[in-house]
Amino acid sequence: MNAILTAIKLLGGLAMFLYGMEIMGDGLKQGSGNALKNILGKLTHNVFIGLLTGALVTAVIQSSTATIVLTVGLIGAGILNLRQAVSIVLGANIGTTVTAQIIRLMDIDSSSGSILSFFKPDTLAPIALIIGIILIMFIKKEASKNVGTIALGFGILFTGLMSMTAAVEPLSESEAFVSVLSYFRDMPLLGIVTGLVLTVIVQSSSAMVGILQAMSSTGLMTFNLIYPIIMGINLGTCITTALVCSIGSSKDAKRTGVVHIVFNTIGTILFMIGMTVIQKMGGFPDLWGSVVDSGGIANFQTLFNLVTAVVLLPFTGVLVNIACRVVKDDVVQTDIYPEMAALDRKLMTVPTVALNEVANSVVIVAKVAKENIERSLLQLVEYTDKRSEEILASEDRLDQFTDSVDNYLIELSGNIETESDNRQRNMLMQCVHDIERIGDYATNFDEMSKKLHDSDIHFSEEARKEMGILGNAVEEILRLTVEALEKDDDTIARRIEPLEEVIDDMVLLLKDRHTERLCQGGCSIDSGLIFQEALTYFERAADQCSSIAMLMLGKHNEEIMKNHHLYLQELHASGDQSYVAEQENRRAQYLAPLQNM
């Protein structure tokens, strides 16, 4: 009966420990999502810097598996290559040891009057829980909520750890437990297998090391018992990572999982050989049977991962070659558009990073839509079948992305916890549809051009000149829209609406003028109808650009987000100096030449 109660208390403490790690990691990821992406993407060109980067990111998000899964997502997005990923994997193993170093706070002697006793878990845990609850429940700022989540997770983690420690302390008096430990001391390979299997089951190397540290309170954990188990724990976590990396991933993503297994396997073999040789030769005679506390366990885990990483760092090229031999390239590879490759579900583990990649993809497809409009305007001047095929191919690409990104962002919604990420998602979902409509107008222009070409209908010389000036204005508003999205710049976004108003005025002027030409017989009915239709699509393309600008501004301004039309009415009526100045410049640039024709 006592054994059952002990197991229940131990598993309950483990559950709290795992949950604390989970929510602490969530808070850290939410608070540093953009930074993680930038660090992984920009600081890994040198393998040594990549090693440090992997260690830093893993220390922040408290999970080597999460770091490697995020790395796999960035490989799929084309931000990282396999060699960079390998250096991050090596660093991730080092970073994961930070949790164990934090847990060693259990070793602080609370009986002393030292200020360090303040950091004893039984003091620190309730303080962290109180701070976390206050920040989450009573302070509504997003940054405070993230800090509160981290503090709450930290407190729950240590509460679970103390529960595990309390559960295992009576085991020091159990003859059966002592007998089992003696068996493990004589069978290091059994220790490796046990650490591996339990880590695969628990899905967390940090949790398994935490259990070892909790069990160290029994005073029965000796060095020759714990070191094989720690190496088995490292092997267990890389098997879990490899399974995750193999699901629906690119070849390089799968190779990253293989590298993690090869790295930890080689490290374990080298360490076991080294430790066995040292022990057989009588080296460090007082070490093997010495009792190890939680600090000693943390130090060995750090030493094992650090030494293994440093030794294997010069051989990253060899690790890459091994992975490439294990996971071979397909004979035929299908090209994937970069905007589609970025929609990797593994990035959803850090929603801010996933949204950042979607935003980059939106910029790509915005450029595709802009280029398609430019092609279609050339069709109005001189129609070619080849250009028409290019326009239709790009339109298919835009449609494919629109469908895919909708599904991706809807699925991502379940992971989003912050208001800023939620606004970013909403903005991107609506922007994509505006961009897709711009692409539709390109196909409309292409269809009109084909009709003109096949029917041998021509615009009048005056109409061609008018359309050329209006086309330049529309190309300019598209250029501004793409630039605003690419730089995420609200200042550029504010320049779009004044130009859109000028384009509206240009369209009104040209419609009136063309109606007059029709009445005077200056152009045919057929060409006149097509010209009027073209003016409508010019105006609508500019409208979509204005919509995108409003979505960008609304992301940082709730009043704009709630009612775009009211904001525009107030903007037009306010006489804002920068708005008026921009509008006047655009009138002089585009409207005046039309009026003077």
pLDDT in tens, 555-588: 877 777 777 677 777 777 777 888 889 999 999 9
Are residues 519 and 397 located together in one domain of the fold?
Answer: yes
The string of pLDDT tens digits covering residues 120-163 is 777 778 888 899 888 888 886 777 777 888 888 888 888 887 88
Q: Identify the three-state secondary structure at position 80.
A: coil
Are residues 168 and 316 located together in one domain of the fold?
Answer: yes
Between 507 and 186, the higher pLDDT residue: 507
Are residues 395 and 261 located together in one domain of the fold?
Answer: no
371-385 b/e with 16+ CB inside 10 Å = b? bbbebbbbbbeebee
CATH number at 462 reads 1.20.58.220
Angle between the N-to-C axes of helices 175-185 and 223-246, in degrees from 0 to 180, rounded to the nearest 10:
80
Are residues 199 and 232 located together in one domain of the fold?
Answer: yes
**Residue ranges in 1-120 assigned as alpha helix (H):** 2-42, 47-61, 64-76, 82-95, 98-103
Residue 336 lies in a domain: no
Across all residues in the chain, what is the average pLDDT? 83
Residue 334 lies in a domain: no
Are residues 356 and 256 located together in one domain of the fold?
Answer: no
Contacts 24+ apart (CB under 8 A), 148-151: 148/27, 149/23, 149/24, 149/26, 149/27, 149/30, 150/24, 150/27, 150/28, 150/31
Mean pLDDT, to the nearest integer, of 170-184? 73
User: At 42, is the pLDDT very low, low, confident or very high (cuts 50, 70, 90)?
Assistant: low
pLDDT at 113 over 60: no
Are residues 398 and 250 located together in one domain of the fold?
Answer: no
Domain range for 394: 350-595
The string of pLDDT tens digits covering residues 396-420 is 999 999 999 999 999 998 888 778 8
The string of pLDDT tens digits covering residues 444-477 is 999 999 988 888 887 778 888 888 999 999 999 9
Residue 217 lies in a domain: yes
Residue 191 lies in a domain: yes
Residue finishing a domain among 280, 310, 326? 326
Give the pLDDT score at 333.
Answer: 44
Are residues 236 and 373 located together in one domain of the fold?
Answer: no
User: At 332, is the pLDDT very low, low, confident or very high (cuts 50, 70, 90)?
Assistant: very low
Q: What pTM does this model have?
A: 0.69
Are residues 387 and 419 located together in one domain of the fold?
Answer: yes
Are residues 203 and 57 located together in one domain of the fold?
Answer: yes
CB 544 within 8 A of CB 436: no
Rounded distance, CA 572 to CA 28, Å?
Answer: 43
User: At 501, is the pLDDT very low, low, confident or very high (cuts 50, 70, 90)?
Assistant: very high
Are residues 319 and 359 located together in one domain of the fold?
Answer: no
Residue 333 lies in a domain: no
Residue 341 lies in a domain: no
Tokens encoding 378? 């050339």
Smallest Cα–Cα separation from 551: which of 439, 420, 429?
429
Give the pLDDT score at 28.
Answer: 64
Are residues 258 and 407 located together in one domain of the fold?
Answer: no
Find the angle CA(223)-CA(167)-CA(180) to the nearest 5 degrees.
Answer: 45
Are residues 237 and 386 located together in one domain of the fold?
Answer: no
Give the pLDDT score at 334.
Answer: 45
Mean pLDDT, to the nearest integer, of 364-374? 95
Rounded distance, CA 32 to CA 367, Å?
Answer: 29
Mean pLDDT, to the nearest integer, of 522-540? 83
Q: Looking at the 3D structure of the chain, how many domains does it have?
A: 2
> Which range (361-370, 430-439, 507-516) has the least confidence?
507-516
Give the pLDDT score at 437.
Answer: 95
